[in-house]
Amino acid sequence: MRHKKSHVPNRSFRVADQIQRDVAELIRELKDPRVGMVTINAVDVSPDYAHAQVWFSVLVGSAEDSEAALNEAAGFLRNGLFKRLAIHTVPTLHFHFDRTTERAADLSALIAKANATRAKE
């Protein structure tokens, strides 16, 4: 008796989480010097699993260079995912520099400046 596969709403989150972990490991295998010290912050997988938006930050290196190198290596990284993921469709990877941490630092600096100005008055 075959069981009908039930639709699990958390499945896409589990897949995205697994992609995030696997891509982080696979990036270490890249020999491209343009890829700096990269952290994978988030992965959003499309409902049909055809595409994954991968958001990263850079501790050391150029964000633009890292983004270009990661997108050029997307095919290699996707092939690595084929070997690791137990899903039929492995998404095409699209890398984007995540400016969230950059914006958070800018906001913190602005708040500190405003508080310092207020303290003087």
- Spell out the residues 6+ positions from residue 64 whose beta carbon is closer than 8 angstroms to its own: 97
Q: Residue 1 above 70 pLDDT?
A: no
What is the pLDDT of the chain when averaged over all its residues? 87
Question: At 8, phi and psi to the nearest 5?
Answer: -105, 115
Q: What is the pLDDT of residue 4?
A: 43
pLDDT at 38 over 80: yes
Q: How confident is the model at residue 5 (pLDDT cuts 50, 70, 90)?
A: very low
Q: What gap in Å lies between CA 48 and CA 35, rounded to an integer?
A: 29
Per-residue pLDDT tens over the stretch 46-103:
999 999 999 999 988 899 999 999 999 999 999 999 999 888 889 999 999 998 766 6
In this prediction, residue 99 carries a pLDDT of: 84
pTM exceeds 0.85 for this model: no
Q: Is the pLDDT of residue 29 over 80?
A: yes
Give percent above pLDDT 90 in the chain: 60
Sign of CA dihedral 56, 62, 68, 72: negative
On whether the 11-120 domain is CATH 3.30.450.40, my answer is no
